[in-house]
Structure 1
Amino acid sequence: MRRVCLTLPTHRACTGTIAAIAEEATYGAREFGVEVHLLILDSSPAPVLAEHRQAVAALVASPGVTVHHLDEDEQRAFLREVLDRSVGASASASADRLLELMLPSRVSYGACTNRAFLIAQALGCTSVHRRDSDSRYQYVDGEPVFPLHQELTSLGQRADDVRKSATRSKLPPGSADRRVAVAGGSFVGEMSVDVAEIRDLDPDTYGELVGLSLPEGYPEIWRKHLIDASFRGAGTDSFDGDRTALAPISPTQVDMCNIGFDHELYSRVPLPPAPDTIGTDYFLLHLAHNARLPGLRHNRHIVNFHTEERRTDAGFLAYQVRFTKFLLATAYLNTVYARTTAAGEALLDTEGHIKASVVAGFVRDSVDLDGTEPVHRLDVIEGAYRRLGGRYTTVADTLADRRPRLLDEARDDMADFALLMDHWEALTGASAEAGLAVTG
Structure 2
Amino acid sequence: MNRICLCLPTNRACAATITAIHQEAAYAAGRFGADVQLLILDSSDERTRAEHRRAVAALPPTTYVTVHHLDENAQRVFLRRTIETAGLPDPDRLLSLMLPPAVSYGACTNRAFLLATALGCDSLHRRDSDSTYQLHDGQPVFPVHHELPYLGRPAAEAAASGLRTDLDAALLGHPVSLAGASFVGELSVDIDGIRQLDDGVYHDVVSLWAPGDWPEERKRDLVEESFTGAGRAPFTGDRATLTVVDAMRVDMCNIAFDRAVYERVPLPPATDTIGSDYFLLHLVHDAGLPGILHNRHIENFHTPERRSDTGFPAYQRRFVKFLLSMLYFHDVYGRMAEAGERLLDDRRRVRADPIVEFLRESTTLDRAENLWRLDRLDTAYRKLGGRYAAFADRLAVMRGQLLDEAESDIEDFADLAQAWPALVEAARP
Matched, 1:268 2:261: no
Per the TM alignment, residue 402 of structure 1 is displaced from its structure 2 partner at its CA by 1.3
- Name 1:182's counterpart in structure 2: 178
Work out which of the residue numbers 118, 135, 138 in structure 1 matches 2:134.
Answer: 138
**Structure 1 stretch displaced more, 192-201 or 19-28:** 192-201
Please give the alpha-carbon distance, in whole angstroms, between the structure 2 residues aligned to 1:86 and 1:36: 27
- What pairs with 1:87-102 in structure 2 (closer than 5 Å)? 87=87, 91=89, 94-102=90-98
Residue 277 of structure 1 contacts residue 322 of structure 1 at CA under 8 Å; is this kept in 2? yes
TM-score of the superposed pair, with normalisation by structure 1: 0.95
**Structure 1 stretch displaced more, 167-176 or 26-35:** 167-176
Residue 212 of structure 2 contacts residue 369 of structure 2 at CA under 8 Å; is this kept in 1? no
CA 1:217 to 1:399, structure 2 compared with 1: closer, same or farther past 3 Å?
closer
- Name 2:303's counterpart in structure 1: 307
Residue 166 of structure 1 contacts residue 244 of structure 1 at CA under 8 Å; is this kept in 2? no
Aligned letter for 1:196?
D
SS of corresponding position for 2:149: helix
Please give the alpha-carbon distance, in whole angstroms, between the structure 1 residues aligned to 2:409 and 2:24: 35
SS of corresponding position for 1:235: coil
Residue 104 of structure 2 contacts residue 276 of structure 2 at CA under 8 Å; is this kept in 1? no
- Name 1:38's counterpart in structure 2: 38
Matched, 1:169 2:165: yes
Work out which of the residue numbers 226, 231, 236 in structure 1 matches 2:232.
Answer: 236
Aligned letter for 2:165?
S
Please give the alpha-carbon distance, in whole angstroms, between the structure 2 residues aligned to 1:218 and 1:292: 24
- What pairs with 1:28-427 in structure 2 (closer than 5 Å)? 28-87=28-87, 91=89, 94-165=90-161, 168-215=164-211, 218-427=214-423
| Per-residue deviation, residues 89-119 of structure 1 (Å, max 9, x unmatched) | xx4xx10000000000000000000000000
SS of corresponding position for 2:6: strand
Please give the alpha-carbon distance, in whole angstroms, between the structure 2 residues aligned to 1:367 and 1:96: 23
SS of corresponding position for 1:391: helix
Per the TM alignment, residue 168 of structure 1 is displaced from its structure 2 partner at its CA by 3.2
Residue 41 of structure 2 contacts residue 70 of structure 2 at CA under 8 Å; is this kept in 1? yes
Matched, 1:26 2:26: yes
Per the TM alignment, residue 217 of structure 1 is displaced from its structure 2 partner at its CA by 5.4
Per the TM alignment, residue 221 of structure 1 is displaced from its structure 2 partner at its CA by 2.9
SS of corresponding position for 1:221: helix
Please give the alpha-carbon distance, in whole angstroms, between the structure 2 residues aligned to 1:398 and 1:74: 36
| Per-residue deviation, residues 331-377 of structure 1 (Å, max 9, x unmatched) | 11111001001111121122211121011100111111112122221
TM-score of the superposed pair, with normalisation by structure 2: 0.98
Please give the alpha-carbon distance, in whole angstroms, between the structure 2 residues aligned to 1:252 and 1:194: 17
Please give the alpha-carbon distance, in whole angstroms, between the structure 1 residues aligned to 2:27 and 2:307: 33
**Structure 1 stretch displaced more, 159-168 or 73-82:** 159-168
Per the TM alignment, residue 165 of structure 1 is displaced from its structure 2 partner at its CA by 4.4
Per the TM alignment, residue 172 of structure 1 is displaced from its structure 2 partner at its CA by 3.0
Residue 172 of structure 1 contacts residue 292 of structure 1 at CA under 8 Å; is this kept in 2? no
Q: CA RMSD in A?
A: 1.2
Per the TM alignment, residue 173 of structure 1 is displaced from its structure 2 partner at its CA by 4.2
Residue 83 of structure 2 contacts residue 91 of structure 2 at CA under 8 Å; is this kept in 1? yes
Residue 181 of structure 1 contacts residue 288 of structure 1 at CA under 8 Å; is this kept in 2? yes
SS of corresponding position for 1:177: coil
Per the TM alignment, residue 127 of structure 1 is displaced from its structure 2 partner at its CA by 0.4
Aligned letter for 1:11?
N
- What pairs with 1:5-16 in structure 2 (closer than 5 Å)? 5-16=5-16
Per the TM alignment, residue 160 of structure 1 is displaced from its structure 2 partner at its CA by 1.3
Aligned letter for 2:118?
A
SS of corresponding position for 2:8: strand
Please give the alpha-carbon distance, in whole angstroms, between the structure 1 residues aligned to 2:315 and 2:163: 38
Aligned letter for 1:367?
T
Aligned letter for 1:258?
N
SS of corresponding position for 1:4: strand
SS of corresponding position for 2:332: helix
Please give the alpha-carbon distance, in whole angstroms, between the structure 2 residues aligned to 1:377 and 1:167: 44
| Per-residue deviation, residues 360-398 of structure 1 (Å, max 9, x unmatched) | 100111111112122221111122111111110122111
Please give the alpha-carbon distance, in whole angstroms, between the structure 2 residues aligned to 1:389 and 1:154: 51
Residue 138 of structure 1 contacts residue 144 of structure 1 at CA under 8 Å; is this kept in 2? yes
SS of corresponding position for 2:310: helix
- Name 1:438's counterpart in structure 2: none
Per the TM alignment, residue 222 of structure 1 is displaced from its structure 2 partner at its CA by 3.1
Please give the alpha-carbon distance, in whole angstroms, between the structure 2 residues aligned to 1:165 and 1:107: 42
Identity among equivalent pairs (%) = 55
Residue 102 of structure 2 contacts residue 271 of structure 2 at CA under 8 Å; is this kept in 1? yes
Give the paired residue count.
429
Residue 184 of structure 2 contacts residue 230 of structure 2 at CA under 8 Å; is this kept in 1? yes
Please give the alpha-carbon distance, in whole angstroms, between the structure 2 residues aligned to 1:263 and 1:308: 35
| Per-residue deviation, residues 187-211 of structure 1 (Å, max 9, x unmatched) | 0011100111212222222112111
Please give the alpha-carbon distance, in whole angstroms, between the structure 2 residues aligned to 1:395 and 1:155: 44
- Runs of 4+ off more than 6 Å: none
Please give the alpha-carbon distance, in whole angstroms, between the structure 1 residues aligned to 2:144 and 2:211: 32
Residue 151 of structure 2 contacts residue 258 of structure 2 at CA under 8 Å; is this kept in 1? yes
Residue 151 of structure 1 contacts residue 184 of structure 1 at CA under 8 Å; is this kept in 2? yes
| Per-residue deviation, residues 376-430 of structure 1 (Å, max 9, x unmatched) | 2111112211111111012211111211111110000000000001100110111
Aligned letter for 2:297?
H
Please give the alpha-carbon distance, in whole angstroms, between the structure 1 residues aligned to 2:108 and 2:141: 25
Residue 313 of structure 2 contacts residue 391 of structure 2 at CA under 8 Å; is this kept in 1? yes
SS of corresponding position for 1:154: coil
Residue 36 of structure 1 contacts residue 66 of structure 1 at CA under 8 Å; is this kept in 2? yes
Residue 201 of structure 1 contacts residue 388 of structure 1 at CA under 8 Å; is this kept in 2? yes
Please give the alpha-carbon distance, in whole angstroms, between the structure 2 residues aligned to 1:330 and 1:229: 17
Per the TM alignment, residue 315 of structure 1 is displaced from its structure 2 partner at its CA by 1.3
SS of corresponding position for 1:63: coil
Residue 107 of structure 1 contacts residue 275 of structure 1 at CA under 8 Å; is this kept in 2? yes
